[in-house]
Chain A
């Protein structure tokens, strides 16, 4: 081919015979086109693939599932620990009882270390029988007004929750399987005689410094000086009464963060009602806000109220859509806008699209990945059975396998079990007894459609609520086991554990 640098156009037609390609892709012109095509193909091809594939894990928020449900690690774990906080001592209004539920086929021994306020730590050895459940009262191990506990187990497969009982009834919450530097509570109240306590437990040996920020409906964002720089020594418990700083405030959200160290935080809400009664709710805080929350089973209490509190601790406004799941039919989603660092509420009875006669599920979804915290407050009609008030966080993320402890307080049982699928596909669910390992009648390989919760009520002789249960699903599900003999459905929820 011509190599002259003075040619007007480097045409290589005369040399085309030396090439295999014909036509345009011949000679130097062909080579140029071929190279340009190759370069463009590589750049554009990979760019297309890059756009299609994207990058994993780019979300700025942690994965759901770690927000509310504690995870029971596998049975062959070397060790595990649970941190329980919120219960009072023997003289307090919310005596705490630790519920250790063993989902494994072998006994697991461990140590319960009780850390009271104003007293010395004490520990005791425990052994949780295979597929069994035991209760331990920390106040019996160590004396104090408030008693927190660390449960250290020589293995895995055991879930630990705490049940508080008192004059206003009882409540249950899971213990924390890890500490955190941030905890969030969507709602609390100091109005009408209600008391709101925040318990801060530092189970580690590292001292922690805690700051509490309150978001009040009346005072806005408040950072009481007394709640800034709270020193929580390693292994100690600090309990703060929010009412000391926010009096008669019906809407209080709390955000707890540490300057150093990590803690476990829980909220104990006591809500007396006029004329006696009321309720007491124990809530373990949410470690990180997430954008999706699920309430598998909701039912308006007759004469009472059902309120959902949405707290947006982020710096961005949250646009929240609320999808109502019905056994049959469908409703248009509701929408909420929650300003940054503020809360909002959804009163069920005020919404026409929320049914009043039957159970339904609610799914809260914040657009744009903005993290929110949502809980549900149930107030039963005066005169109902105790407890008449209850508060519970929603389920974030769900799990494929879940452990449901038995309902501990005597005289109680399960009123209903609700399972809702969190994926967009139908989920096959089986509920079996952890003790015997056999499916429950009517709950074997049930298909749960998206947006249509599966709700089961115990039949006579049913082990539902009596023994620990295992839920196995082909997709992520949210499970809610409501306790019976309460003033209103959903006032007390038995905590669930995700099985690792």
Chain B
């Protein structure tokens, strides 16, 4: 009589082993320990190492069969069809699994009980069996695999019901032997990743059930799927080449790669670099796990569907694949795009084998596709999963999601920890999404009116000129500031011109982007700055704190563009200085773990517990050691002091070109960080501080070079420091120390609630430890320095270096926001280490204060324009152009804080500027460090202010100043509807202007006053009679000839030099040439320098200008003619601008890390020179260069 064991069907466990590690003995032991009585174990050894001894030691009864080479799991397993007879089932096993002792019994029982052809167990993690890996899988109609469980899910028995599934995951699969033989086993073309999908699909086509028996538990190490076991080289390099059969197997690629490597060994340095780059490129085309997965999924679709469904599904699949490629490319997920492309390419190249396989499938078909698809998911599982991840975790997480689609890469950690981390990260990310969504909502809501209607002409928010005007301003060599100057224009105008060009002339949109974009850009920089501390909430808190400090909104409300730019740039500058403070890159391992600002918690190990030892450089956390998030390695030279100075210099140059105070600000940041490093102390503090100073100063030097010739002209000017630092308001308007401390120097921050963040920022000093305390200290010292500078500058104690408070407070804002973020990090990391006490209370209070501090900005958002005045001086002075016969100038006087545009300082709290035909545009924001001849206008105003003249109109007349506008407020003030920042000019000014007998006051209302000078000459005028006298026509008392007999008011403007002129040649403001017909006489052009202007006429003789009124140009015209008055610049200016552009291109190219184009140009130059030399010497082309080109 047979025993029950003898009645059990024969099962052969087929283990495909490829050089397994120490876990293999555990697997063998597990198989040997199965309670199933009729189990035979067959080891198919496909690796290099002979496993016979190892198998014999653990499972003496097992059979070992060595295969000649690794054909892949499926092809290797198929050999059992020839090797084994009489088996009822095959148990196909990977070499990294360990089934529980009763697993096989349960699977076999279930196979018989359910009459299933394929049975899958429940897979759990190798080291922590509580963590689920797979309990059966399913697919959509496109073959995309979808797991039934969530990543990190803990096994509570929730999936323990037996059920039909579409796919039995690989690892330990029980297959009925007859079914396996009928369908021809695994697809031999599938090396790995997808063989079970194809097998299960075909099994179902053949009428078999695929089921999961969760009672059978198998631990799985997932070596291949997790990437810990690499693909064989022949598979990895088997990049398909369409229409090139020889390349399908990868030999060509491998050979070329190897050839390149071989050549690199003995090649010169330059060629080695090229060859190395070539090798890198070759590697990027290798087959990846993702590629395998995608191509085998597609193969299963192409093979296993019937005709109807194949032609129905295929177009959908093509469309979705195309869209996926485009999206992946657009979002930078090139590996994903490459995998999709690879899938289609490979299947095209495998079309022959595909046809054969499809025929076999159809031969075994017992069920139609509709029946097979009953277990498939509807819709596109991949698209849904991508969207879900993108919405839940962000775009980067969505990109990484492909790992989750197949296997979990985190095999090395415990399941519980992984699950906990996963849940925590998901909750964190969801909260982050909510926080950022709220922030964006507030920003958009608060800026809705500005986005819709644009900016009023107040402060520095002047309208942008056209892109061509910007570029013309940059390249022409003449600026209309004052009465004209040939000083170089700031490259900022060129940058804005290019920006307008990129936006197809939409300079209005450009202005909104540049102005409003500063706010999120600054927050992004702050997030980057604090990102290195590994706390997601620290990043969120610091970014939100930086977003909610009143500074940017006060800057908007007061029209301070420079403050906004500083707000955007300062965190980035601090990031770079912080990196510079780290130890030398030579001291760090290039392959060491990187937890830097670029590596967010999403992709990095992230969290930093504690901190480095005292004196060790905590900035290593912030310093980027070389590798980027995507694995790209930055050029090594960029991590040197010079490289960092160059990088920071470019950033500083960009800032300074738009806001000259950026240079001073960078030095303040440098000083603050260096001082903070010294104050905090520790080992290497002095060295670290020195590095910061070196990089900061070096960056300023780089900025000077990059911005030349503008920087040279600024530094050479008499008011160089005013140009760089900005103009100082009257000391009486300096903010109080309290206002500075809570960063409230404007209308929005002028509330006690704004103290919240400052007080909350104290928290890390109280509870922080390690790196958080170190950096909190540095942040506070930085803030303290900025506060002190702003306070001293507000009182005029810093002289010409008194940076306006709105700008100088930005570093303080950076320090406060950074400290707030560090407080959150300390709360997460340090607080749990303390006993319950006052620290917890302090943390709670800080959180409350932080919340309270957001209220002023939330309230300010209600206006939709951040309290920016609705009307500016552009509208209020638009009537001027209609009233004046020709071109004219407007003299603007007032406190620099409220004066629209850029200006020159006249006295403390009083500045002046000139504009043409009304309010100027944004090009007037950079007036230069010297007013040139326009300085006489300022001198005349000073005479009036000091009661030393009553004929200011007479003095201003030769400068074509028709209107004098004295501004008291930021914008025209309307009681009840538009309160505006008020900064009255010195009282003597209005008294002095009121004293002038030749100025007529037109408008005197709240906000501004307008005087008109009726005697002013037009900017271009013609006097038919006598020419302009050079000496007598000058301004001064000598030309005064008041009438002694005429009745009426004294007529000081009735000087012969100022009478008899009429306007001609009207043009747009800032024009460097104007054409028109003019009668005979003397043409006066109120522009300087006179020597750079000339008259060109069709009938008149070309002539250089003569000097008039000591500065202006005049021409004699003997007969009526059509003439052109134009600026004739110097060729040196064009050369300088060209050199500047080339320098920027070279520096940016070098910093981008993509120097191939440089090499390409260098090689081209070499080739050209070679050809030339060859021609010259008769030797032909340089073959060395050709060889390199060939490799390319």
Partner of B683 from A18, A42, A43, A261 at Cβ < 8 Å: A18
Q: Nearest residue in B to A179 (C-beta to C-beta)?
A: B994
Are B737 and A12 in contact, CB atoms less than 8 angstroms apart? no
The A contact surface, by secondary structure, is loop
Which positions 151-177 of chain A face chain B at CB distance < 8 Å? 152, 154-156, 177
A50 within 8 A of B: yes
Q: Which residues of the partner chain B approach A150 to less than 8 Å between Cβ atoms?
A: 997, 1049-1050
Partner of A78 from B614, B835, B1037, B1045 at Cβ < 8 Å: B1037
Decide yes or no: A152 and B736 within 8 Å by CB, A34-B681, A78-B943, A78-B1037 being known contacts: no
Are A154 and B832 in contact, CB atoms less than 8 angstroms apart? no
Q: Which residues of the partner chain B approach A178 to less than 8 Å between Cβ atoms?
A: 947, 991-992, 994-995
Are B949 and A77 in contact, CB atoms less than 8 angstroms apart? yes
B228 within 8 A of A: no
Are A1 and B1048 in contact, CB atoms less than 8 angstroms apart? no
A56 within 8 A of B: yes
A471 within 8 A of B: no
Cα-based distance from A78 to B1043 in the complex (angstroms): 18
Are B1047 and A123 in contact, CB atoms less than 8 angstroms apart? yes
Give the interface segment out of A199-207, A365-373, A392-400.
A199-207
Are B788 and A35 in contact, CB atoms less than 8 angstroms apart? no
Are B947 and A35 in contact, CB atoms less than 8 angstroms apart? no
Q: How far is the CB of A196 from chain B (nearest CB, A)?
A: 26
Q: Nearest residue in B to A124 (C-beta to C-beta)?
A: B1044
CB 8 Å contact bits of A136-161 with B (1 = contact, 0 = none) = 00000000000000101011100000
A444 within 8 A of B: no
Q: Which residues of the partner chain A approach B769 to less than 8 Å between Cβ atoms?
A: 3, 5, 10, 28
Q: Which residues of the partner chain B approach A155 to less than 8 Å between Cβ atoms?
A: 1037
Q: Nearest residue in A to B788 (C-beta to C-beta)?
A: A46
Q: Which residues of the partner chain A approach B1049 to less than 8 Å between Cβ atoms?
A: 113, 121, 150, 205, 234-235
Cα-based distance from A78 to B955 in the complex (angstroms): 10
Are B951 and A78 in contact, CB atoms less than 8 angstroms apart? yes
B773 within 8 A of A: yes
Are B780 and A81 in contact, CB atoms less than 8 angstroms apart? no
A122 within 8 A of B: yes
**A27, A32, A62, A66 interface centre (most CB from chain B within 10 Å):** A32
Are A53 and B773 in contact, CB atoms less than 8 angstroms apart? no
B834 within 8 A of A: yes
B734 within 8 A of A: yes
Q: How far is the CB of B1066 from chain A (nearest CB, A)?
A: 26
A446 within 8 A of B: no
Partner of B610 from A5, A35, A235 at Cβ < 8 Å: A5
A260 within 8 A of B: yes
Q: Nearest residue in B to A114 (C-beta to C-beta)?
A: B1047
Q: How far is the CB of B923 from chain A (nearest CB, A)?
A: 33
B948 within 8 A of A: yes
Are B997 and A5 in contact, CB atoms less than 8 angstroms apart? no
Cα-based distance from A55 to B1044 in the complex (angstroms): 50
A7 within 8 A of B: yes
Decide yes or no: A125 and B1044 within 8 Å by CB, A31-B777, A152-B997 being known contacts: yes
Q: Which residues of the partner chain B approach A113 to less than 8 Å between Cβ atoms?
A: 1049-1050
Give the interface segment out of B191-199, B249-257, B654-662, B1000-1008.
B1000-1008
CB 8 Å contact bits of A68-105 with B (1 = contact, 0 = none) = 00010110111111000000000000000000000000
Cα-based distance from A122 to B1043 in the complex (angstroms): 11
Cα-based distance from A249 to B1046 in the complex (angstroms): 44
Q: Which residues of the partner chain A approach B610 to less than 8 Å between Cβ atoms?
A: 2-5
Are B1052 and A31 in contact, CB atoms less than 8 angstroms apart? no
B800 within 8 A of A: no
Q: Which residues of the partner chain B approach A3 to less than 8 Å between Cβ atoms?
A: 609-613, 769-770
Decide yes or no: A31 and B773 within 8 Å by CB, A55-B795, A123-B1044, A123-B1047 being known contacts: yes
Q: Which residues of the partner chain A approach B946 to less than 8 Å between Cβ atoms?
A: 73, 500
Q: How far is the CB of B685 from chain A (nearest CB, A)?
A: 11
Partner of B777 from A6, A18, A35 at Cβ < 8 Å: A35
Which positions 339-386 of chain A face chain B at CB distance < 8 Å? none
B710 within 8 A of A: no
Decide yes or no: A34 and B679 within 8 Å by CB, A79-B950, A204-B1000 being known contacts: yes
Which positions 23-63 of chain A face chain B at CB distance < 8 Å? 27-28, 31-32, 34-36, 38-39, 42-43, 46-47, 50, 53, 55-58, 62
Decide yes or no: A123 and B780 within 8 Å by CB, A5-B829, A32-B773, A152-B950 being known contacts: no
Q: How far is the CB of B665 from chain A (nearest CB, A)?
A: 19
Q: Which residues of the partner chain A approach B738 to less than 8 Å between Cβ atoms?
A: 47
Are B1047 and A55 in contact, CB atoms less than 8 angstroms apart? no
Q: Nearest residue in B to A53 (C-beta to C-beta)?
A: B795
Cα-based distance from A43 to B680 in the complex (angstroms): 17
A226 within 8 A of B: no
Are A31 and B734 in contact, CB atoms less than 8 angstroms apart? no
**B612, B829, B991 interface centre (most CB from chain A within 10 Å):** B991
Are B732 and A5 in contact, CB atoms less than 8 angstroms apart? no
Q: Nearest residue in B to A262 (C-beta to C-beta)?
A: B994
Are A111 and B1042 in contact, CB atoms less than 8 angstroms apart? yes
Q: How large is the interface on A (under 10, 10 to 19, 20 to 34, 35 or more residues)?
A: 35 or more
Q: Which residues of the partner chain A approach B987 to less than 8 Å between Cβ atoms?
A: 62
Are A79 and B732 in contact, CB atoms less than 8 angstroms apart? no
Are B731 and A55 in contact, CB atoms less than 8 angstroms apart? yes
Partner of B613 from A1, A5, A38 at Cβ < 8 Å: A1
Q: Which residues of the partner chain A approach B614 to less than 8 Å between Cβ atoms?
A: 1, 12, 15, 18-19, 27-28, 31
Are A38 and B947 in contact, CB atoms less than 8 angstroms apart? no
Are B948 and A73 in contact, CB atoms less than 8 angstroms apart? yes
Cα-based distance from A111 to B780 in the complex (angstroms): 66
A415 within 8 A of B: no
Q: Nearest residue in A to B1044 (C-beta to C-beta)?
A: A125
Are A74 and B948 in contact, CB atoms less than 8 angstroms apart? yes
Q: How far is the CB of A48 from chain B (nearest CB, A)?
A: 9
Q: Nearest residue in A to B1005 (C-beta to C-beta)?
A: A260
Q: Which residues of the partner chain A approach B950 to less than 8 Å between Cβ atoms?
A: 79-81, 152
Partner of B949 from A36, A79, A120, A123 at Cβ < 8 Å: A79
Q: Nearest residue in A to B1002 (C-beta to C-beta)?
A: A206
A416 within 8 A of B: no
Cα-based distance from A36 to B777 in the complex (angstroms): 8
Are B679 and A35 in contact, CB atoms less than 8 angstroms apart? yes
Cα-based distance from A35 to B769 in the complex (angstroms): 12
Cα-based distance from A5 to B787 in the complex (angstroms): 33
A8 within 8 A of B: yes
Cα-based distance from A10 to B833 in the complex (angstroms): 8
Q: Which residues of the partner chain B approach A50 to less than 8 Å between Cβ atoms?
A: 736-737, 791
B124 within 8 A of A: no
Decide yes or no: A5 and B833 within 8 Å by CB, A35-B773, A35-B780, A42-B784 being known contacts: yes
A297 within 8 A of B: no
Q: Which residues of the partner chain A approach B1043 to less than 8 Å between Cβ atoms?
A: 123
Partner of A123 from B741, B777, B992, B1050 at Cβ < 8 Å: B1050
B765 within 8 A of A: yes
Are B765 and A39 in contact, CB atoms less than 8 angstroms apart? yes
Sample of 20 A–B contacts (CB below 8 Å): A3-B613, A5-B609, A5-B769, A5-B829, A8-B833, A9-B834, A10-B769, A32-B773, A38-B781, A73-B946, A73-B948, A76-B948, A79-B949, A121-B1048, A123-B1044, A123-B1046, A178-B995, A180-B991, A206-B1000, A262-B1001
In order of increasing CB-CB distance, the 6 nearest A-B pairs are: A3-B610, A77-B948, A57-B732, A81-B950, A78-B949, A50-B737
Besides A7-B833, A150-B1049, 5 more A-B contacts (Cβ < 8 Å) are A9-B834, A28-B773, A78-B1037, A111-B1042, A260-B1001
Point out residues on A near B: beta carbons under 8 Å. Answer: 1-10, 12, 15, 18-19, 27-28, 31-32, 34-36, 38-39, 42-43, 46-47, 50, 53, 55-58, 62, 66, 71, 73-74, 76-81, 111, 113, 120-125, 150, 152, 154-156, 177-180, 203-206, 234-235, 260-262, 500
